[in-house]
Amino acid sequence: MMGMAQPVSPLSVGSLTQLTLSLAAIVVLILAIGWILKRFRLAAPRGSADIAVLDELRLSPRERVVLIRIGDAQVLLGIGAGGMVPLTPLAASIVLQTAAPAPAFAERMRELMKRAGGLPPGGSSPGAPPPGATA
């Protein structure tokens, strides 16, 4: 039987190269995901309820001022390339202004459509039957 091809060995140069490149790609992907989670602080916060970061002001890409709460006290910290430096413990607590809650997505879309002239004065969508009409 001359027409039969011999099977390729699983330890050939081509299959070992493919295996090595696949493993290297997986390691690079794991490292990239870890860097992204660290960079954008997407990992779950750890710590207790007694310590919390109240506010933060970035001064440069590597330096920031952080207001933290430890129990009932508040401390202002400077964080930079040289490490963390307590700037001052605050005698009186700072009351932070809370931002207004963002409007719901549906309300925001209605507002944008009204501005663009997309909704009639009744507020229903252009293809909807008029109020009081039966289907």
Q: What is the pLDDT of residue 109?
A: 80
Q: What is the pLDDT of residue 28?
A: 97
What secondary structure letter does DSSP report for 10?
T
CB neighbour list of residue 43: distance below 8 Å, 6 or more residues apart: 37
Cα 10 from Cα 32, distance rounded (Å): 30
Going from the first residue of the chain to its last (135 residues), give the mean pLDDT of each consecutive group of 10, the final group possibly shorter.
Answer: 66 88 97 87 66 86 88 87 84 72 76 70 54 54
Q: What is the pLDDT of residue 22?
A: 96
Q: What is the pLDDT of residue 123?
A: 52
Q: Where are the domains of the chain?
A: 13-44, 51-90
Cα 41 from Cα 44, distance rounded (Å): 8
Radius of gyration of the chain (CA): 30
Which helix (H) or strand (E) segment holds residue 80: the answer is strand 73-80
Instruction: Indicate if the alpha-carbon torsion angle 124, 125, 126, 129 is positive or negative.
Output: negative
Query: pTM for this structure?
Result: 0.40
